[in-house]
Amino acid sequence: MEDPPSSDNSVEYSLKYFPMRGRGEPVRLMLELNRLPYAEVDVNYRDMKGHAGMADSPFGQVPLLVHKGNTVAQMDAILRYLGRMRNMYCGSPAQLAAIDEMLSGLESMRLEYYNLAYIGQFTSEAVAAYERRHINPSSRSGDNKGAHMFFIYQLFLRNFADYESCLNIGHVQLFDVVDLHLRKTLDQSRNFDKWYPELVEFHRYFSHIPSINDYLNSDRRPMNVNVNHLG
């Protein structure tokens, strides 16, 4: 998967992903937040799989970030890579562990969300079951495979609530996952605001950061949330 030549010497990063938000969106948010010039490179699925295991497609998956000839694979690894350079993944062992916990917890939520999107296809029954199992605070002690918004919420209150003075890559991932859950397709009961008001306020704050606000209101943000055009 060769990169096309770029005539813009200021573009230092290339993001390889499909024309949708998905797992590429947290990477875009990180680049946009820090105003790092980047180019989006369309992915040829056959080439991606044909190069699987090679340096330019280590896992046969995207997103991939190319920076100074180095290809970084996997969403969270890309965020950590950028975070180290932008002082957004640093601190004591305990602080780094909290960020890692947030990333892992959000990955659990993302996997259940993808089941809802691609298996349940956002039917009213599937959305109600998802909310009951993974969003409603009353189900936090149930069989939820460790994926529950209440867990994310409590971790946020303990370790991420001081976002106005210091943002890290956990906040970037958190914004994207909360953004998915605030969409009308998913939050049909409109209970999210009531159950998790501090997450909604964080979402509002992050979306109004000038660089993020510019991105959210630009044509750089893909219209499609998921590959099946649902959600």
> Is the model's pTM score more than 0.85?
yes
CA distances from 210 to 24, 34, 88, 215 (A): 21, 11, 18, 9
Q: What is the mean pLDDT of residues 28-32?
A: 99
What does the alpha-carbon distance between residue 34 and residue 169 come to, in Å, rounded to a whole number?
11
Whether the CB-CB separation of 224 and 231 falls below 8 Å is answered with no
> Average pLDDT, whole number, for the chain?
93
pLDDT given at position 230: 77
Give the pLDDT confidence of 81-122 residue by residue, as tens digits: 999 999 999 999 999 999 999 999 999 999 999 999 999 999
Radius of gyration of the chain (CA): 18
Confidence of residue 7 (pLDDT cuts 50, 70, 90): very low
pLDDT-wise least confident of 41-55, 70-84, 86-100: 41-55
Report whether pLDDT(4) > 60: no
pLDDT given at position 6: 44
Whether the CB-CB separation of 194 and 201 falls below 8 Å is answered with no
Task: Select from 3.30.479.30, 3.40.390.10, 3.40.30.10, 3.40.50.720 the CATH code of 13-87.
Answer: 3.40.30.10
Give the pLDDT confidence of 131-188 residue by residue, as tens digits: 999 999 999 999 899 999 999 999 999 999 999 999 999 999 999 999 999 998 887 7
Report whether pLDDT(8) > 90: no
Whether the CB-CB separation of 36 and 13 falls below 8 Å is answered with yes
Q: What is the mean pLDDT of residues 67-81?
A: 97
What's the number of CA atoms in the CB half-sphere (13 Å) around residue 95?
12
Give the pLDDT confidence of 190-201 residue by residue, as tens digits: 899 999 999 999
- The residue that leads in pLDDT, 42 or 216, is 216
